[in-house]
Chain A
Amino acid sequence: MSEEAILSVQGISKSFGGVKALDNVSFDIYPGDIFGIIGPNGSGKTTMINCISGFIRPDSGHVLFEKKDITGWKPHKIAHIGIARTFQLMRPYYSLPAYKNLIIPLWSPRAKKFGGWRGGGKHGDRDTVAVDILEEIGFERDSRVPYKLASTLPTGYQKRLELARCIAMRPQIIFCDEVFSGLSMSEIAGMMPLIEKLKAEGVTLIMVEHRLRELFRVANRVMALNFGQKLVEGDPRVVIENPKVREAYLGTEEV
């Protein structure tokens, strides 16, 4: 590929006390990729996201976004330049209705720049955009669902709200931390068009997932981690056949 990498992760390491969560992990992401990160629990996937998005400072290594070194930047700065992330243990803004949850990202400086709407800060405009985004996500527009308190929404809707929060910022990269977990088959089927749509709009997705079948339907490249180390990276079908990956998930036979 002659494209430039939009995100370049170089040699990231992070230890918590005596536990090495990430050990010299490097990979490149190209624009338009849907890049999967797989690995058993505890392999460092969420830590990786935290290091890249600025919530944790890596012990060593660099993260480059469009050739700029963003290692150690504050989270809101990183979000501002176009890297959004979802949270695995997500908590919406409980005291607010669902569509008001989106006001917060829509209020951010980034949304003002890239939002594509002429808000000018008027009260009503952001509300309309919020409801529009929710409709894109799959909330039924004419029902009461967008207006319900976020704490009363079922999990599938909350997950989608979390994704909507990222989309509202019009990011270039979205880190999806286990967005498929906890969803039923129909809910996942409902999310798929959204992912396709994001891909069509040129958003780069990096998806940390356990549900490999769904992931492999959309991902064009996959990386496997185990115990903080990168095992292998490449085409999904090749990665899943890799004996080390199998061993990581299933273990080996001791004879």
Chain B
Amino acid sequence: MEILVYGIINSIILSLMSLGFSLVYSIARVPNFAHGALYITTGYMVWLMVNKLQGLPYILAIIFAIGATAIIGALIYRCVLIRIRGMEISEIIATYAIGLAILEGLRWGGLRGMTFSLPPFYPGAVSMFGLLIDYQRLIIVGTGILTFILLYLFTRYTKIGLALRGIAQDERAAMMLGINSDMTAVISLAIGSALAGFAAVLLLPLGNIVVEAGYNVLIFAIAVCVIGGLGSWGGTIVASFIIGFAQILTEALGSSHYQMVVALLAIILTLLIKPSGLFGKQKELEERV
């Protein structure tokens, strides 16, 4: 029972971390290696606003920080990626470098040690299913499921959402219908970054804000997306459940050191067995003729 509950919590945590990355890749075809950096940036911004600007309500700080991160994401595309669109090698190097610069810049700028943390939304815990679960985790699960539903509705019923899905499915066809692929890329990067920030404000109260978390988030997001299939949102959710439960199981059987190792081994295993992931739409040998 314990494993089931913690497994679900962990899985939703992973999926929140990964949705942003998956979205950006499926729409803009850019693997956003700065994903982890954007995550930590939002957390740090919230911390700064809450601790330096006395009197600013927590909720406002969150909204500002997520908005700022979305703008940063959009800027990354508009300033840098737009020049190297289509050159996969340069895109990867560029987003990796930007992510690295942000993370190490934050580390240099003061984000060292374990003293940075965000307060949980609702302190305390409640007893459910015979276990003591804190409210924050419950909020995470609830918000996570809400996010999935909202994203689903957004992409099916709003014009922008449909445009994003169109570009994700077939870029050329969508462009012929008048959808501006640069604009959708900017929007997708903004939404993806906002999702990373959203995940940050939900998850960081569970621990501390440290730069290493940025790298961890990136690795987990990539692991989930590779296993679920780069480009498939449903796959992301399913994969996060698989890895989430796998991690909880190893923690129960072994030690918690292995969380990262599980994720990384899962990537290797997937690449060996079914490289396109569970629901991946890309085939390994792409038909480019």
Contact = CB atoms under 8 A, between A and B. Distances in A.
Interface of A: 46, 50, 55-56, 75, 87-89
A50 B286 CA distance: 11
A82 B284 CA distance: 24
A206 to B, nearest CB: 16
A56 B283 CA distance: 10
A46 B288 CA distance: 12
B229 to A, nearest CB: 16
A10 to B, nearest CB: 22
Contacts of B128: none
A226 B287 CA distance: 21
Contacts of B285: 55, 75
A113 B285 CA distance: 27
Contacts of A87: 289
B88 to A, nearest CB: 16
Interface residues of B, number: 3
Nearest to A47: B287
A87 B289 CA distance: 7
A50 B289 CA distance: 9
Pairs A-B, 3 closest by C-beta atoms: A87-B289, A56-B287, A55-B287
Nearest to B285: A55
A11 B143 CA distance: 52
Contacts of B287: 50, 55-56
Contacts of B289: 46, 50, 55, 87-89
A88 B289 CA distance: 7
11 contacts: A46-B289, A50-B287, A50-B289, A55-B285, A55-B287, A55-B289, A56-B287, A75-B285, A87-B289, A88-B289, A89-B289
B280 to A, nearest CB: 15
Interface in B135-174: none
Nearest to A49: B289
Interface string B249-289: 00000000000000000000000000000000000010101
Contacts of A89: 289
A50 B285 CA distance: 12
A89 B285 CA distance: 17
A71 to B, nearest CB: 15
Interface in B224-265: none
Contacts of A88: 289
A88 B287 CA distance: 12
Nearest to B289: A87
A229 B287 CA distance: 21
A87 B288 CA distance: 10
B274 to A, nearest CB: 15
A84 to B, nearest CB: 14
Nearest to A55: B287
Task: Choose among A55, A87, A88, A89 the residue with the greatest number of B CB atoms under 10 Å from its CB.
Answer: A55
Nearest to B281: A17
A85 to B, nearest CB: 9
Given A46-B289, A88-B289, 8 more contacts: A50-B287, A50-B289, A55-B287, A55-B289, A56-B287, A75-B285, A87-B289, A89-B289
A57 to B, nearest CB: 9
A208 to B, nearest CB: 12
Contacts of A55: 285, 287, 289
A75 B287 CA distance: 12
